[in-house]
Structure 1
Amino acid sequence: MIVNNVQLVLENEVVSGSLLMRDGEIAAIDQGRSQLPGALDGEGAFLLPGLIELHTDNLDKFFTPRPGVDWPSHSAMSSHDALMIANGITTVLDAVAVGDVRDGGHRLDNLNKMIGAIQQSNRQGVNRAEHRLHLRCELPNERTLALFEALMTTPELALVSLMDHSPGQRQYVSLEKYREYFQGKYQMNDRQMDEWETEQIALAARWSQPNRQAIAAHCRARTIPLASHDDATAAHVDESREIGVTIAEFPTTLAAATRSRATGMQVLMGAPNIVRGGSHSGNMAAAALAEQGLLDILSSDYYPASLLDAVFRLANDTRNACTLPQAAAMVSRNPARALGLNDRGLLAPGLRADLVLAHTDHGHAHVRHVWTQGRMVW
């Protein structure tokens, strides 16, 4: 297949031209229009590498679309996969919570069910995106280590993150924001919330550090990429680096982001943070990190459509010097390299033909077509 008359978003520039796919790979890139009959006319839209998502909670929503609703696995996985592809995401790490902050919550109940759905749909070949697994390990929980050890040999496992959502630190330095989030999510009154806070602080004091050290040791032994989560201080970052972390997920302060980059970690922030103009938790704005050249990877987190949207917002933001190729690298080349996926992430001959054709004709990014390994899937 030839995709003709497109703006090719290459590693360091954007050029007009055409792209040839053959046997699932990019065979050639040419400047200028192809004259061959049957070529797909891209109508001047942007052709980008397929987006690579390292941390999305989206799968969870399809398994429990409403409180108390347990949705069939095949339908949930199929709908999730379709939404990923519709937003240009061709490689996705489905984030599954291990040791959820609310024991007995639907994430914990659905743990094996969701992982089983990823595995079964992969084996059956029904997914259009490539799905892998990201284990989000909630450290202040006595069950976290045992659950992780039961899952750490899962073939699909591609990333592990270490998180501590206990009150008064990291993401929730602001107790007001902490109470607002958890009271809204779990409908707790003030007395219940007081008891909840006390319990979470005690659990963190008992379990966070032992779990952090043990899980990190397992990841180092198995060469599983490891991410920190919500580091807020230079001390947090140094601790993360010491145990083998290579990706700094959602640092909450400029100091933490600066220190992460200085120690060699790639800084990952949420694309919704870019789209909304700031953090919903009142923490570091991703655009501010981009302005200082401290942003490496974007994740759609809880809103898949934000990923492509954020790329064009960053490229059009006059407050930073981020070009479209640099912004596109945050959702393609950089996450691919962070995982050691050297067969994708760029428009270059010999790499996988995972592609997104997107236009901005009406001032917003819209996906027109998506290919995975040379096959049009959208």
Structure 2
Amino acid sequence: MRDFARSDSSAVQEQLDRLGRLSVPEGRLGLDTIRALLARLGDPHKRLPPVFHVAGTNGKGSICAFLRAMLEAQGYKVHATISPHLVRYNERIRVAGELISDERLAELLAEVLDVGEDLNPSFFEVTIAAAFAEFARVPADACVVEVGLGGRFDATNVLEPEVLAACGIAALGIDHERFLLAPEEGVPEAPMARIAFEKVGIAKPGVPLIALGPTQSAAAVIFEVAERVGAPIIMEGVDFRILADGQNFAVVDADSQIVLPLPSLSGAHQVSNAGLAIAMLHHQRSIPVSHEAMVKGVRSARWPARLQRMAEGPLTGGREVWLDGGHNPSAGLALANHFRGQRFHLVIGMLSAKDPASLVGPLGKSIASISVVPVPGHEWHGVDVFGPEARSAGSLPEAFEKLPRDELPVLVAGSLYLAGEALRLNEEFPD
């Protein structure tokens, strides 16, 4: 799997072109390359402020957004690394609250690519090495780190107990089957149990591991690995609950009840994501966060392309347009829940490795029309897989031009890469 990136800065683009030429040998697994690369940079991952490390299939980016918002509401300077980016590669590296500048990014990528040239690192390994190098250089109070893929062999999993404040596991689901369900001896065979095994690979001795309640088979794997590693496990449904009504939600355990307003991010599933972020802050002891900061952070968190109501702009015009980068069955169910009882026009682009039915199926009769568009820079599903009523368009602007002139909302969905293109065309740039 390869990421793509473009920049208006020629200095940054020169380094992104170098990143784009990286080619990882098929089947290479493990953390040896990222550890060797970091060693040449002085092991910056061992000199980070307290780190909140988040894995999962769905929602981990939202959880990171809630964590950052609550920590910043407390007045802390926060580093953060997320993936993928939507419009600019800079989104992957947030330094003390600000996206890394083009000038510094060009210098940093050049340094990492130069020292690791003979190691044949991946796009993501270079990105994480660069992020950790900058995070160790610039003072801050906390770090929020999103796992890229899986957990056990993800480049972020070089983080050691000494720098970790808490680890979190978001909602689990089947995704990235080629990588996460590849045959291997000594691992669970059942798909959900195997997914859980990969995600819980981020568990570390003595570091609180907080997880949203998975299926029974997945929970058994998480408990088994956590116990073997020596990570204190706090599981939703066992050790705490997340309860919600029409105006508030609460994170409740045997000793406390934290009541907060409903999250600013759209979708009922965001209550669970915010609840996990709060539970992570509650069970860590590295950096205090007040109830007031939690309230402010839950209300102010932003996370583009996750059930985002797009602004009026060059792409959307005066229409009500929603944007979501989800691309698996769990995302389809979340979208179906959000649009329950409401019809809409679907503009969709999906990578060829994804299953269109997993997203479109749950939306069912809510779809008034389907317009299928390319995902720029990637192999994508053509119109034929979306059913006889679907129609094709050569781009997002063309799809919008062809939509019926009615009052129905529009949902752009199917890929985070497509979501990034929508934001770029509408001149909404994540900050």
In the superposition, the TM-score normalised over structure 1's length comes to: 0.30
TM-score by length of 2: 0.27
Relative contact order higher in (CA < 8 Å, ≥ 6 apart): 1
More strand by share: 1
